[in-house]
Amino acid sequence: MKRKEITTVTVIGAGDMGHGIAQAALLGGLIVHLYDTNNTSLQRGVDKINESLEILHRKGKIKAEEMQFCKTNLHPTLNFQEAIESSPFIFEAVPEIVELKRNLYSDMEKIASRNTIFASNTSNMKISEITKDLQYKDRVVGAHFFNPVVLMKLVEVIRGDETSDETMEITYDLCLKMNKTPVRVEKDSPSFIVNRINAPLRVFLGAIVDNEIAQPEEIDALMKFHGEPMGHFELADYVGLDVTYYSCQYRQQVLHQDYIPYKKLTEKVNSGELGKKAGKGFYDWS
Ligand code: CAA
């Protein structure tokens, strides 16, 4: 049987990840409906896409016609019903709070057509945990992109306990169409591959700072010396300390107590120093 070809997608959430996924989809030749709950967040996402397209064009990485295609085919919306009802493929990129995601998927299930695929950009949560309350679990999959989405090629395509082969393959093919390098994660498990590998290191690095053995800047300098593009703390600022915090907390709950968010990270989050987006985190970004 020939698989349906996806030409239109909806992205739920216009934040750092959502706007990046929308942009990657546009650059892959897709029509994109970008939804957020409020105009400020939605407009911020649209502005970031436009800024990034201008950079790519200025650097000769995309032609004027490609940039125009992307701008013409981006449809921002605040209308949830409209965003969901006619879409064949929905990327979800809302904050990493399990109840928030569960409620969203239940709402989407009420509106979406039976064949619509739901792909979660969660960076840690088991897909089966998100789909717990759903009637149709076969059409839900993980599609974990990396920040900044426009530059990072990797996508983890994660099979939930009940994800169908067709859902996996359509998602994998769509990621290829978006010029990404998808890898299949065949068993649903917290943190998948990349964050499973990186998580233990983060615990040790946090302990070095909490024990006042070295400052974040010094650890980052060492990591860059070893060839990393960013050190751990700069990267945490870049992706958002709230995102990093929720990820640690989730791993603590489902994997092991040792993944508890380190003290310095907790302090930063409690004081609203959430990294680049807040102008301050471990570094000053203002
Ligand atoms: N749009 C288009 N182009 C952009 C851009 C944007 N938004 N941002 C930067 N660029 C371009 C720059 O113009 C520059 O282009 P040239 O090389 O042609 O000059 C290039 O990208 C590199 O940018 P910079 O020189 O400004 O900075 P850099 O060399 O430090 O690279 C980086 C930036 C690619 C982000 C690099 O630092 C990097 O790879 N960092 C690590 C990122 C990473 O590991 N991300 C994963 C995070 S974890 C996650 O997302 C998921 C999770 O689970 C939470």
For the Cβ of 197 lying below 6 angstroms from any atom of ligand 1, the answer is no
Q: How far apart are CA 265 and CA 240, in angstroms?
A: 11
Structure-token match 């860059």, residue found? 224
Asked whether the beta carbons of 6 and 18 are under 8 A apart, the reply is no
The pLDDT, as a whole number, for residue 2 is: 53
pLDDT in tens, 228-251: 999 999 999 999 999 999 999 999
| pLDDT tens, residue by residue, 251-280 | 999 999 999 999 999 999 999 999 999 999
Amino acid 74: pLDDT: 98
For the cut 70, the answer to whether the pLDDT of residue 72 exceeds it is yes
Is 212 an active-site residue? no
- The answer to whether the CB of 243 is under 6 A from ligand 1 is yes
Under 8 Å CB-to-CB from 72, ≥6 apart: which residues? none
The catalytic residue among 19, 33, 144, 232 is 144
pLDDT of residue 54 exceeding 70, the answer is yes
- The residue-averaged pLDDT of 103-114 equals 97
For residues 90 and 68, give the distance between their C-alpha atoms in angstroms, rounded to a whole number.
Answer: 23
Span 47-53, mean pLDDT? 98
Q: What is the rounded average pLDDT of the residues 55-73?
A: 98
The stretch 172-201 carries a mean pLDDT of 96
pLDDT at 4: 73
Residue 144's pLDDT is 98
The arithmetic mean of pLDDT across residues 7-17, rounded, is 97
- Residue range 144-177, pLDDT digits in tens: 999 999 999 999 999 999 999 999 999 999 999 9
Q: Would you identify the CATH topology of the domain 197-278?
A: N-(1-d-carboxylethyl)-l-norvaline Dehydrogenase; domain 2 (1.10.1040)
Catalytic residue list contains 156: yes
The reply to whether 189 belongs to the active site is no
pLDDT range class, residue 73, cuts 50, 70, 90 = very high
- Phi first, then psi: give them for residue 23, nearest 5 degrees: -65, -45
Question: Is the model's pLDDT at 3 over the cut of 70?
Answer: no
**Confidence (pLDDT) at 5:** 86
Amino acid at 250: Y
Hey, which CATH number is domain 8-185, 3.40.1350.10, 3.40.50.1820, 3.40.50.2300, 3.40.50.720?
Answer: 3.40.50.720
- Candidates 46, 123, 151: which one to mutate for ligand 1, based on the most atoms within 8 Å of Cβ? 151
The DSSP 8-state label assigned to residue 33 in this structure reads E
CB 156 within 8 A of CB 190: no
Please give the share of the chain, as a percent, with pLDDT higher than 90: 97
Residue 8 pLDDT more than 80? yes
Residues 155, 146: Cα–Cα separation, whole Å? 7
- Percent of the chain's residues with pLDDT above 70: 99
Half-sphere exposure of 28 (CA within 13 A, CB side): 24
pTM above 0.90, yes or no: yes
Average pLDDT score, the chain:
96
What band does 34 get if pLDDT is binned at 50, 70 and 90? Answer: very high
In this prediction, residues 139-143 reach a mean pLDDT of 98
What mean pLDDT is predicted for residues 219-223? 98
**What are the domain boundaries of the chain?**
8-185, 197-278
pLDDT (tens digit per residue) in 195-217? 999 999 999 999 999 999 999 99
> With 80 as the cut, is the pLDDT of residue 1 above it?
no
Q: 92 catalytic, yes or no?
A: no
CA 125 remoteness from chain centre:
12
